[in-house]
Amino acid sequence: MTALTTAWAAELADALGPDSVLTDPDVTAAYSRDQAMLATAGTPAAVVLPRRTDDVVEVMRIAHRHGVRVVPRGAGSGLAGASNAVDGAITLVMTRMDAVLEVSPADRLVVVQPGVVNKQLRDAVAGHGLFYPPDPSSYDWCTIGGNLSTNSGGLCCVKYGVTTDYVLGLEVVLADGRVLRTGRRTVKGVAGYDLARLFVGSEGTLGVITEATLALRPAPQRPVTLAATFATTAQTGQVVERVVTSGLVPSLLEVMDNTCICAVDDLLHADLDRGAHALLVAQSDTGGAAALAEIEALAELCREAGADLVHTTDDPAEGDLLLAARRMALPALEQLGSTLIDDVAVPRSAIATFLDGCDGIATRRELTIGVVGHAGDGNMHPTICFDPADPGQRGRAFAAFDDILELGLSLGGTITGEHGVGSLKVDWLEREIGPVSLEVHRSIKDALDPSGLLNPGKVLRRIPDGRLTR
Protein backbone atom coordinates (compact mmCIF):
# COMPACT_ATOMS: atom_id res chain seq x y z
CA MET A 1 0.00 0.00 0.00
CA THR A 2 1.44 3.37 -1.03
CA ALA A 3 1.74 6.33 1.32
CA LEU A 4 -1.06 8.09 -0.56
CA THR A 5 -3.33 5.07 -0.25
CA THR A 6 -2.47 4.77 3.43
CA ALA A 7 -3.50 8.41 3.91
CA TRP A 8 -6.97 8.13 2.39
CA ALA A 9 -7.56 4.69 3.89
CA ALA A 10 -6.74 6.12 7.33
CA GLU A 11 -9.22 8.96 6.72
CA LEU A 12 -11.89 6.41 5.82
CA ALA A 13 -11.16 4.34 8.94
CA ASP A 14 -11.38 7.47 11.12
CA ALA A 15 -14.69 8.47 9.53
CA LEU A 16 -16.43 5.07 9.41
CA GLY A 17 -14.56 2.98 11.96
CA PRO A 18 -11.79 0.45 11.29
CA ASP A 19 -14.22 -2.50 10.98
CA SER A 20 -15.79 -0.80 7.96
CA VAL A 21 -12.57 -0.41 5.99
CA LEU A 22 -10.82 -3.60 4.87
CA THR A 23 -7.37 -3.51 3.30
CA ASP A 24 -6.03 -7.04 3.88
CA PRO A 25 -5.38 -8.35 0.32
CA ASP A 26 -6.62 -11.82 1.28
CA VAL A 27 -9.95 -10.27 2.28
CA THR A 28 -10.33 -7.68 -0.47
CA ALA A 29 -9.69 -10.31 -3.15
CA ALA A 30 -13.08 -11.84 -2.32
CA TYR A 31 -14.73 -8.65 -3.55
CA SER A 32 -12.87 -8.42 -6.84
CA ARG A 33 -15.56 -9.71 -9.22
CA ASP A 34 -19.21 -10.57 -9.71
CA GLN A 35 -20.65 -13.73 -11.30
CA ALA A 36 -19.34 -12.87 -14.78
CA MET A 37 -16.27 -14.95 -14.12
CA LEU A 38 -14.55 -14.16 -17.42
CA ALA A 39 -15.00 -10.37 -17.26
CA THR A 40 -11.81 -8.49 -16.43
CA ALA A 41 -11.33 -7.56 -12.78
CA GLY A 42 -8.73 -5.62 -10.85
CA THR A 43 -7.71 -5.59 -7.19
CA PRO A 44 -9.34 -3.08 -4.85
CA ALA A 45 -7.03 -1.09 -2.59
CA ALA A 46 -9.77 -1.07 0.04
CA VAL A 47 -13.20 -2.54 0.59
CA VAL A 48 -15.53 -0.19 2.46
CA LEU A 49 -18.81 -1.32 4.06
CA PRO A 50 -21.00 1.66 5.00
CA ARG A 51 -23.95 1.39 7.38
CA ARG A 52 -25.82 4.61 6.57
CA THR A 53 -26.03 7.37 4.01
CA ASP A 54 -23.68 9.61 6.00
CA ASP A 55 -20.99 6.94 5.66
CA VAL A 56 -21.37 6.94 1.88
CA VAL A 57 -21.16 10.73 1.89
CA GLU A 58 -17.85 10.55 3.76
CA VAL A 59 -16.50 7.91 1.37
CA MET A 60 -17.32 10.00 -1.69
CA ARG A 61 -15.97 13.20 -0.15
CA ILE A 62 -12.67 11.52 0.71
CA ALA A 63 -12.51 9.80 -2.68
CA HIS A 64 -13.25 13.10 -4.45
CA ARG A 65 -10.59 14.94 -2.46
CA HIS A 66 -7.91 12.34 -3.20
CA GLY A 67 -9.02 11.43 -6.73
CA VAL A 68 -9.72 7.81 -5.78
CA ARG A 69 -12.03 5.76 -7.98
CA VAL A 70 -15.04 4.03 -6.40
CA VAL A 71 -16.82 0.85 -7.53
CA PRO A 72 -20.28 0.40 -5.92
CA ARG A 73 -21.20 -3.22 -5.23
CA GLY A 74 -24.13 -5.18 -3.84
CA ALA A 75 -24.16 -8.96 -3.36
CA GLY A 76 -22.02 -9.57 -6.45
CA SER A 77 -24.75 -11.49 -8.28
CA GLY A 78 -24.32 -9.48 -11.50
CA LEU A 79 -23.55 -11.19 -14.79
CA ALA A 80 -21.83 -8.46 -16.81
CA GLY A 81 -18.85 -7.44 -14.66
CA ALA A 82 -20.52 -4.19 -13.57
CA SER A 83 -19.26 -4.47 -9.99
CA ASN A 84 -15.83 -5.88 -10.83
CA ALA A 85 -13.03 -4.16 -8.97
CA VAL A 86 -10.61 -1.62 -10.43
CA ASP A 87 -6.94 -1.67 -9.43
CA GLY A 88 -6.18 0.77 -6.61
CA ALA A 89 -9.84 1.76 -6.19
CA ILE A 90 -12.35 1.55 -3.39
CA THR A 91 -14.97 -1.17 -3.67
CA LEU A 92 -17.99 0.22 -1.85
CA VAL A 93 -20.03 -2.75 -0.61
CA MET A 94 -23.59 -1.76 0.29
CA THR A 95 -24.76 -5.00 1.95
CA ARG A 96 -24.71 -3.63 5.53
CA MET A 97 -27.33 -1.05 4.54
CA ASP A 98 -30.04 -3.70 4.63
CA ALA A 99 -33.00 -2.17 6.43
CA VAL A 100 -36.61 -2.07 5.31
CA LEU A 101 -37.29 1.44 6.61
CA GLU A 102 -41.03 1.73 6.01
CA VAL A 103 -43.97 -0.21 4.63
CA SER A 104 -47.04 1.90 3.86
CA PRO A 105 -50.06 -0.27 2.92
CA ALA A 106 -52.27 2.79 2.38
CA ASP A 107 -49.83 4.22 -0.16
CA ARG A 108 -48.72 0.80 -1.47
CA LEU A 109 -45.06 1.69 -1.12
CA VAL A 110 -41.97 0.58 0.72
CA VAL A 111 -38.78 2.47 1.59
CA VAL A 112 -35.60 0.39 1.67
CA GLN A 113 -31.85 0.63 1.84
CA PRO A 114 -29.90 -0.83 -1.11
CA GLY A 115 -28.53 -3.86 0.75
CA VAL A 116 -31.96 -5.41 1.26
CA VAL A 117 -32.14 -8.80 -0.48
CA ASN A 118 -34.92 -9.07 -3.06
CA LYS A 119 -36.59 -12.03 -1.32
CA GLN A 120 -36.25 -10.31 2.06
CA LEU A 121 -38.21 -7.38 0.64
CA ARG A 122 -40.87 -9.70 -0.79
CA ASP A 123 -41.25 -11.42 2.57
CA ALA A 124 -41.41 -8.11 4.45
CA VAL A 125 -44.32 -6.76 2.41
CA ALA A 126 -46.17 -10.07 2.08
CA GLY A 127 -47.35 -9.75 5.70
CA HIS A 128 -49.20 -6.61 4.63
CA GLY A 129 -50.93 -8.36 1.72
CA LEU A 130 -48.59 -6.64 -0.75
CA PHE A 131 -46.19 -7.77 -3.45
CA TYR A 132 -42.93 -6.50 -4.97
CA PRO A 133 -42.95 -8.12 -8.43
CA PRO A 134 -39.41 -7.90 -9.95
CA ASP A 135 -37.86 -11.33 -9.32
CA PRO A 136 -34.46 -12.03 -10.90
CA SER A 137 -33.45 -15.69 -10.83
CA SER A 138 -31.04 -14.80 -8.02
CA TYR A 139 -33.86 -13.19 -6.00
CA ASP A 140 -32.94 -15.11 -2.86
CA TRP A 141 -29.53 -13.39 -2.60
CA CYS A 142 -29.33 -10.42 -5.00
CA THR A 143 -29.87 -6.98 -3.47
CA ILE A 144 -32.28 -4.19 -4.36
CA GLY A 145 -29.36 -1.82 -4.98
CA GLY A 146 -27.98 -4.18 -7.60
CA ASN A 147 -31.45 -4.65 -9.10
CA LEU A 148 -31.76 -0.86 -9.40
CA SER A 149 -28.27 -0.57 -10.84
CA THR A 150 -29.04 -2.89 -13.75
CA ASN A 151 -32.82 -2.38 -13.95
CA SER A 152 -33.34 -6.08 -13.30
CA GLY A 153 -36.38 -7.96 -14.49
CA GLY A 154 -37.11 -11.61 -13.85
CA LEU A 155 -39.74 -14.20 -14.52
CA CYS A 156 -42.75 -11.95 -13.86
CA CYS A 157 -41.86 -9.21 -16.36
CA VAL A 158 -44.44 -10.25 -18.93
CA LYS A 159 -47.24 -9.07 -16.63
CA TYR A 160 -45.60 -6.82 -14.06
CA GLY A 161 -42.71 -5.10 -15.82
CA VAL A 162 -39.16 -4.47 -14.57
CA THR A 163 -37.52 -2.67 -11.67
CA THR A 164 -37.85 0.85 -13.05
CA ASP A 165 -41.64 0.43 -13.21
CA TYR A 166 -41.68 0.34 -9.39
CA VAL A 167 -39.29 3.19 -8.59
CA LEU A 168 -41.03 6.22 -7.10
CA GLY A 169 -38.02 7.97 -5.60
CA LEU A 170 -34.33 7.58 -4.83
CA GLU A 171 -31.72 9.00 -2.50
CA VAL A 172 -28.38 9.12 -4.31
CA VAL A 173 -24.92 10.22 -3.18
CA LEU A 174 -23.18 11.95 -6.06
CA ALA A 175 -19.49 11.70 -6.98
CA ASP A 176 -18.55 14.77 -4.91
CA GLY A 177 -20.48 13.65 -1.83
CA ARG A 178 -23.63 15.73 -2.31
CA VAL A 179 -26.92 13.97 -1.55
CA LEU A 180 -29.64 14.07 -4.21
CA ARG A 181 -33.22 13.17 -3.33
CA THR A 182 -35.35 12.73 -6.40
CA GLY A 183 -38.78 11.36 -7.15
CA ARG A 184 -41.87 11.27 -5.00
CA ARG A 185 -44.22 9.20 -2.82
CA THR A 186 -47.33 9.98 -4.86
CA VAL A 187 -48.89 7.83 -7.57
CA LYS A 188 -48.52 10.64 -10.11
CA GLY A 189 -45.89 13.36 -10.44
CA VAL A 190 -44.26 15.15 -13.37
CA ALA A 191 -42.30 17.92 -11.67
CA GLY A 192 -39.05 18.32 -13.57
CA TYR A 193 -36.95 15.69 -15.30
CA ASP A 194 -37.43 12.10 -14.19
CA LEU A 195 -34.04 11.86 -12.51
CA ALA A 196 -34.93 8.75 -10.53
CA ARG A 197 -35.19 6.73 -13.72
CA LEU A 198 -31.91 8.20 -14.94
CA PHE A 199 -30.08 6.45 -12.12
CA VAL A 200 -31.92 3.15 -12.56
CA GLY A 201 -29.84 1.05 -14.94
CA SER A 202 -26.79 3.35 -14.71
CA GLU A 203 -24.73 0.56 -13.08
CA GLY A 204 -23.20 2.79 -10.41
CA THR A 205 -21.60 5.15 -12.93
CA LEU A 206 -23.62 8.26 -12.00
CA GLY A 207 -24.09 8.00 -8.24
CA VAL A 208 -24.46 5.63 -5.29
CA ILE A 209 -28.06 4.74 -4.45
CA THR A 210 -28.55 4.78 -0.67
CA GLU A 211 -32.34 4.61 -0.38
CA ALA A 212 -35.26 3.71 -2.63
CA THR A 213 -38.99 4.34 -2.42
CA LEU A 214 -40.69 1.55 -4.35
CA ALA A 215 -44.26 0.97 -5.43
CA LEU A 216 -46.01 -2.25 -4.46
CA ARG A 217 -48.88 -4.29 -5.87
CA PRO A 218 -51.62 -6.27 -4.13
CA ALA A 219 -50.50 -9.81 -3.36
CA PRO A 220 -51.16 -12.22 -6.25
CA GLN A 221 -53.72 -14.96 -5.98
CA ARG A 222 -53.04 -18.70 -5.88
CA PRO A 223 -51.37 -19.50 -9.22
CA VAL A 224 -52.31 -22.01 -11.88
CA THR A 225 -49.34 -23.42 -13.81
CA LEU A 226 -48.82 -24.86 -17.29
CA ALA A 227 -45.95 -26.81 -18.80
CA ALA A 228 -45.85 -27.70 -22.50
CA THR A 229 -43.22 -29.33 -24.68
CA PHE A 230 -42.67 -28.86 -28.40
CA ALA A 231 -40.79 -30.60 -31.17
CA THR A 232 -39.82 -27.37 -32.96
CA THR A 233 -38.98 -23.77 -32.16
CA ALA A 234 -41.53 -22.66 -34.74
CA GLN A 235 -44.29 -24.17 -32.64
CA THR A 236 -42.96 -22.45 -29.54
CA GLY A 237 -42.74 -19.11 -31.29
CA GLN A 238 -46.27 -19.53 -32.62
CA VAL A 239 -47.61 -19.96 -29.09
CA VAL A 240 -45.80 -16.87 -27.82
CA GLU A 241 -47.18 -14.77 -30.67
CA ARG A 242 -50.70 -16.12 -30.15
CA VAL A 243 -50.52 -15.36 -26.42
CA VAL A 244 -49.78 -11.72 -27.23
CA THR A 245 -52.31 -11.31 -30.05
CA SER A 246 -55.10 -13.09 -28.15
CA GLY A 247 -54.79 -10.70 -25.22
CA LEU A 248 -53.68 -13.25 -22.63
CA VAL A 249 -51.45 -11.82 -19.91
CA PRO A 250 -49.94 -14.69 -17.90
CA SER A 251 -47.92 -13.72 -14.85
CA LEU A 252 -44.96 -15.55 -16.37
CA LEU A 253 -44.11 -17.25 -19.65
CA GLU A 254 -40.71 -18.94 -19.75
CA VAL A 255 -38.87 -21.04 -22.32
CA MET A 256 -36.03 -23.59 -22.13
CA ASP A 257 -34.35 -25.28 -25.10
CA ASN A 258 -33.35 -28.94 -25.28
CA THR A 259 -29.84 -28.30 -23.93
CA CYS A 260 -31.30 -26.65 -20.83
CA ILE A 261 -33.97 -29.33 -20.41
CA CYS A 262 -31.35 -32.10 -20.38
CA ALA A 263 -28.97 -30.17 -18.10
CA VAL A 264 -31.72 -29.49 -15.56
CA ASP A 265 -32.90 -33.09 -15.71
CA ASP A 266 -29.35 -34.30 -15.07
CA LEU A 267 -29.13 -32.00 -12.03
CA LEU A 268 -32.60 -32.38 -10.52
CA HIS A 269 -33.66 -35.82 -11.84
CA ALA A 270 -37.02 -34.17 -12.53
CA ASP A 271 -38.19 -36.63 -15.21
CA LEU A 272 -38.34 -33.92 -17.86
CA ASP A 273 -38.98 -34.77 -21.51
CA ARG A 274 -35.39 -35.02 -22.76
CA GLY A 275 -36.55 -35.39 -26.34
CA ALA A 276 -38.39 -32.08 -26.41
CA HIS A 277 -36.91 -29.27 -28.48
CA ALA A 278 -38.43 -26.63 -26.19
CA LEU A 279 -40.31 -26.39 -22.90
CA LEU A 280 -42.72 -23.57 -22.08
CA VAL A 281 -43.70 -22.85 -18.46
CA ALA A 282 -46.51 -20.39 -17.76
CA GLN A 283 -48.51 -19.22 -14.78
CA SER A 284 -51.62 -17.16 -14.14
CA ASP A 285 -52.02 -15.49 -10.74
CA THR A 286 -55.39 -13.81 -11.31
CA GLY A 287 -56.95 -16.36 -8.95
CA GLY A 288 -59.84 -18.76 -8.96
CA ALA A 289 -61.86 -19.41 -12.08
CA ALA A 290 -60.18 -16.56 -13.97
CA ALA A 291 -56.74 -18.16 -13.56
CA LEU A 292 -58.05 -21.58 -14.57
CA ALA A 293 -59.66 -20.08 -17.65
CA GLU A 294 -56.55 -18.15 -18.64
CA ILE A 295 -54.32 -21.21 -18.37
CA GLU A 296 -56.83 -23.37 -20.23
CA ALA A 297 -56.88 -20.80 -23.04
CA LEU A 298 -53.08 -20.91 -23.15
CA ALA A 299 -53.16 -24.71 -23.08
CA GLU A 300 -55.48 -24.69 -26.10
CA LEU A 301 -53.02 -22.45 -27.97
CA CYS A 302 -50.29 -24.99 -27.22
CA ARG A 303 -52.43 -27.86 -28.49
CA GLU A 304 -53.29 -25.95 -31.66
CA ALA A 305 -49.57 -25.39 -32.26
CA GLY A 306 -48.94 -29.14 -32.02
CA ALA A 307 -47.46 -29.45 -28.53
CA ASP A 308 -46.29 -32.95 -27.65
CA LEU A 309 -47.36 -32.55 -24.02
CA VAL A 310 -49.57 -30.04 -22.21
CA HIS A 311 -49.90 -30.27 -18.43
CA THR A 312 -51.73 -27.88 -16.11
CA THR A 313 -52.02 -27.78 -12.34
CA ASP A 314 -53.57 -25.60 -9.67
CA ASP A 315 -51.45 -27.25 -6.97
CA PRO A 316 -48.99 -24.56 -5.76
CA ALA A 317 -46.43 -27.18 -4.70
CA GLU A 318 -46.41 -28.79 -8.14
CA GLY A 319 -46.23 -25.35 -9.73
CA ASP A 320 -43.22 -24.52 -7.56
CA LEU A 321 -41.48 -27.69 -8.78
CA LEU A 322 -42.00 -26.66 -12.40
CA LEU A 323 -40.65 -23.18 -11.67
CA ALA A 324 -37.70 -24.68 -9.81
CA ALA A 325 -36.72 -26.47 -13.02
CA ARG A 326 -36.74 -23.12 -14.83
CA ARG A 327 -34.83 -21.29 -12.08
CA MET A 328 -32.17 -24.02 -12.01
CA ALA A 329 -31.36 -23.74 -15.71
CA LEU A 330 -28.25 -21.60 -15.28
CA PRO A 331 -26.83 -23.61 -12.32
CA ALA A 332 -27.45 -26.76 -14.36
CA LEU A 333 -25.57 -25.38 -17.37
CA GLU A 334 -22.68 -24.46 -15.06
CA GLN A 335 -22.21 -28.19 -14.48
CA LEU A 336 -21.14 -28.47 -18.14
CA GLY A 337 -18.15 -26.13 -17.79
CA SER A 338 -17.38 -22.45 -17.45
CA THR A 339 -20.11 -20.24 -18.82
CA LEU A 340 -20.48 -17.04 -20.78
CA ILE A 341 -24.04 -15.90 -20.12
CA ASP A 342 -25.53 -13.61 -22.71
CA ASP A 343 -28.60 -11.42 -22.23
CA VAL A 344 -30.27 -10.50 -25.49
CA ALA A 345 -33.83 -9.27 -25.88
CA VAL A 346 -35.55 -9.62 -29.25
CA PRO A 347 -39.05 -8.81 -30.47
CA ARG A 348 -41.40 -11.60 -29.41
CA SER A 349 -42.15 -12.32 -33.05
CA ALA A 350 -38.45 -13.16 -33.54
CA ILE A 351 -38.01 -15.62 -30.64
CA ALA A 352 -38.13 -18.74 -32.83
CA THR A 353 -35.65 -17.26 -35.31
CA PHE A 354 -33.35 -16.30 -32.45
CA LEU A 355 -33.47 -19.79 -30.92
CA ASP A 356 -32.68 -21.37 -34.29
CA GLY A 357 -29.87 -18.86 -34.79
CA CYS A 358 -28.27 -19.77 -31.46
CA ASP A 359 -28.49 -23.44 -32.41
CA GLY A 360 -26.67 -22.63 -35.64
CA ILE A 361 -23.98 -20.68 -33.78
CA ALA A 362 -23.44 -23.63 -31.44
CA THR A 363 -22.95 -25.92 -34.43
CA ARG A 364 -20.67 -23.52 -36.29
CA ARG A 365 -18.51 -22.77 -33.23
CA GLU A 366 -18.54 -26.42 -32.04
CA LEU A 367 -19.77 -25.48 -28.57
CA THR A 368 -22.64 -26.27 -26.24
CA ILE A 369 -25.08 -23.36 -25.99
CA GLY A 370 -28.21 -23.60 -23.88
CA VAL A 371 -30.94 -20.99 -24.19
CA VAL A 372 -33.35 -20.13 -21.39
CA GLY A 373 -35.40 -16.99 -21.21
CA HIS A 374 -38.44 -14.90 -20.58
CA ALA A 375 -40.53 -15.74 -23.62
CA GLY A 376 -43.25 -13.34 -22.57
CA ASP A 377 -41.04 -10.31 -23.20
CA GLY A 378 -38.43 -11.77 -25.57
CA ASN A 379 -35.50 -11.56 -23.13
CA MET A 380 -33.30 -14.58 -23.86
CA HIS A 381 -30.26 -15.85 -21.95
CA PRO A 382 -28.06 -17.96 -24.27
CA THR A 383 -25.38 -19.58 -22.13
CA ILE A 384 -22.14 -20.75 -23.74
CA CYS A 385 -20.47 -23.69 -21.97
CA PHE A 386 -16.78 -24.35 -22.56
CA ASP A 387 -13.44 -25.31 -21.05
CA PRO A 388 -11.45 -22.09 -20.36
CA ALA A 389 -8.22 -24.10 -20.14
CA ASP A 390 -8.60 -25.01 -23.81
CA PRO A 391 -7.45 -21.96 -25.83
CA GLY A 392 -9.43 -23.07 -28.85
CA GLN A 393 -12.67 -23.43 -26.91
CA ARG A 394 -12.12 -20.15 -25.09
CA GLY A 395 -11.59 -18.27 -28.34
CA ARG A 396 -14.64 -19.87 -29.94
CA ALA A 397 -16.73 -19.07 -26.87
CA PHE A 398 -15.99 -15.36 -27.07
CA ALA A 399 -16.61 -15.45 -30.82
CA ALA A 400 -19.97 -17.14 -30.18
CA PHE A 401 -20.80 -14.47 -27.58
CA ASP A 402 -20.30 -11.79 -30.24
CA ASP A 403 -22.22 -13.87 -32.81
CA ILE A 404 -25.21 -13.94 -30.46
CA LEU A 405 -25.13 -10.19 -29.92
CA GLU A 406 -24.90 -9.64 -33.67
CA LEU A 407 -27.85 -11.97 -34.19
CA GLY A 408 -29.92 -10.14 -31.60
CA LEU A 409 -29.26 -6.72 -33.15
CA SER A 410 -30.00 -8.04 -36.64
CA LEU A 411 -33.46 -9.10 -35.42
CA GLY A 412 -34.22 -5.65 -34.05
CA GLY A 413 -33.19 -6.56 -30.51
CA THR A 414 -30.92 -5.18 -27.82
CA ILE A 415 -27.58 -6.34 -26.40
CA THR A 416 -28.95 -6.49 -22.86
CA GLY A 417 -32.42 -6.88 -21.45
CA GLU A 418 -31.62 -6.90 -17.73
CA HIS A 419 -28.00 -7.82 -16.93
CA GLY A 420 -26.57 -4.49 -18.03
CA VAL A 421 -23.59 -3.45 -20.15
CA GLY A 422 -21.01 -3.78 -17.36
CA SER A 423 -17.54 -4.33 -18.73
CA LEU A 424 -18.48 -7.24 -21.00
CA LYS A 425 -20.48 -5.26 -23.56
CA VAL A 426 -18.88 -1.80 -23.57
CA ASP A 427 -17.69 -2.35 -27.13
CA TRP A 428 -21.22 -3.16 -28.30
CA LEU A 429 -23.00 -0.17 -26.81
CA GLU A 430 -22.22 2.31 -29.59
CA ARG A 431 -23.29 -0.20 -32.24
CA GLU A 432 -26.74 -0.33 -30.67
CA ILE A 433 -27.37 3.25 -29.58
CA GLY A 434 -25.40 5.17 -32.25
CA PRO A 435 -23.05 8.16 -32.01
CA VAL A 436 -25.62 10.81 -31.07
CA SER A 437 -27.01 8.78 -28.19
CA LEU A 438 -23.49 7.90 -27.07
CA GLU A 439 -22.59 11.59 -26.97
CA VAL A 440 -25.62 12.27 -24.78
CA HIS A 441 -24.47 9.47 -22.47
CA ARG A 442 -21.05 11.10 -22.29
CA SER A 443 -22.51 14.49 -21.49
CA ILE A 444 -24.61 13.11 -18.64
CA LYS A 445 -21.64 11.24 -17.20
CA ASP A 446 -19.40 14.31 -17.45
CA ALA A 447 -22.04 16.49 -15.77
CA LEU A 448 -22.50 14.19 -12.76
CA ASP A 449 -19.01 12.71 -12.48
CA PRO A 450 -16.55 14.99 -14.31
CA SER A 451 -13.51 13.32 -12.74
CA GLY A 452 -14.67 9.84 -13.76
CA LEU A 453 -14.45 8.43 -10.23
CA LEU A 454 -17.55 6.25 -10.26
CA ASN A 455 -17.23 2.72 -11.66
CA PRO A 456 -14.74 3.54 -14.43
CA GLY A 457 -14.63 1.21 -17.43
CA LYS A 458 -18.27 0.20 -17.05
CA VAL A 459 -20.89 1.16 -19.66
CA LEU A 460 -18.57 3.89 -21.05
CA ARG A 461 -14.79 4.11 -21.28
CA ARG A 462 -12.62 7.13 -20.59
CA ILE A 463 -9.82 8.26 -22.90
CA PRO A 464 -6.70 10.25 -21.88
CA ASP A 465 -8.15 13.74 -22.49
CA GLY A 466 -10.83 13.08 -19.93
CA ARG A 467 -13.71 12.62 -22.35
CA LEU A 468 -15.71 9.45 -22.33
CA THR A 469 -15.73 6.91 -25.11
CA ARG A 470 -16.89 3.36 -25.55
User: What's the CATH number where 58 sits?
Assistant: 3.30.43.10
89 close to 42: Cβ distance less than 8 angstroms: yes
Quick: pLDDT tens for 179-215. Answer: 999 999 999 999 999 999 999 999 999 999 999 999 9
Contact predicate 384/344, CB 8 Å? no
Contact between 417 and 345 under an 8 Å Cβ cutoff? The reply is yes
The alpha carbon of residue 324 and the mean position of all alpha carbons in its chain are separated, in whole angstroms, by 18
> What is the C-alpha R_g of the chain?
23
Same domain, 239 and 379: yes
CATH of the domain at 239: 3.40.462.10
Closest CA to 354 of 333, 379, 323, 325: 379
Number of domains within the chain: 4
Q: Are residues 236 and 179 in the same domain?
A: no
> 24 with 106, same domain?
no
CA-CA distance, 311 to 214, in Å (whole number)?
Answer: 36
Chain center to CA of 137: 9
**What number of other Cβ atoms are within 10 A of residue 279's Cβ?**
26
- 126 and 272: one domain? no
pLDDT attached to residue 37 = 77
| Dist. CA 197–CA 143, nearest whole Å | 18
CA atoms within 13 A on the CB side of 24: 6
Supply the pLDDT for residue 331.
92
Q: What pLDDT, on a 0 to 100 scale, did the predictor assign at position 3?
A: 60
Query: What was the pLDDT predicted at 466?
Result: 40
State whether 248 and 394 are in the same domain. Answer: yes
Domain match, 265 and 212 both: no
Among residues 112, 117, 39, 111, which one has the least CA distance to residue 71?
Answer: 39
Q: Assess if residue 139 is contained within a domain.
A: yes
**DSSP state, 43?**
-
Whether residue 287 is contained in a domain is answered as: yes
Residue 56 CA from chain centroid, whole number: 24
Answer yes or no: is 45 within a domain. Answer: yes
Q: Do 68 and 196 reside in the same domain of the chain?
A: no
pTM listed for this prediction: 0.93
pLDDT in tens, the chain (470 residues): 566 578 999 999 999 999 999 999 999 999 999 988 778 899 999 999 999 999 999 999 999 999 999 999 999 999 999 999 999 999 999 999 999 999 999 999 999 999 999 999 999 999 999 999 998 888 899 999 999 999 999 888 899 999 999 999 999 999 999 999 999 999 999 999 999 999 999 999 999 999 999 999 999 999 999 999 999 999 999 999 999 999 999 999 999 999 999 999 999 998 999 999 999 999 999 999 999 999 999 999 999 999 999 999 999 999 999 998 998 999 999 999 999 999 999 999 999 999 999 999 999 999 999 999 999 999 999 999 999 999 999 999 999 999 999 999 999 999 999 999 999 999 999 899 999 999 999 999 999 999 999 999 999 875 444 433 43
Residue where a domain stops, chosen among 93, 114, 148: 93
The range of the structural domain enclosing residue 201 comes to: 100-218
Q: What's the CATH code of the domain at 131?
A: 3.30.465.10
For residues 353 and 394, membership in a common domain is answered with yes
Q: Are residues 388 and 261 in the same domain?
A: yes
Bridge-partner residues for 219, per DSSP? none
**Residue 420 in domain:** no
Phi/psi at 284 (5° precision): -125, 130
Q: Do 76 and 145 have their domain in common?
A: no
Q: How many residues does the chain have?
A: 470
**Same domain as 106, residue 66:** no
In a shared domain, residues 261 and 399: yes
Taking CA atoms, 102 is separated from 53, 98, 106, 165, 212, in Å, by 16, 12, 12, 19, 11
Of 308, 255, 305, the C-alpha closest to 280 is 255
Q: What is the pLDDT of residue 470?
A: 33
CA distance 394 to 397: 5
Q: How far is CA 439 from CA 362, 445, 460, in A?
A: 36, 10, 11
Would you state the pLDDT for residue 60? 98
* Residue 370 parent element (H or E): strand 368-374
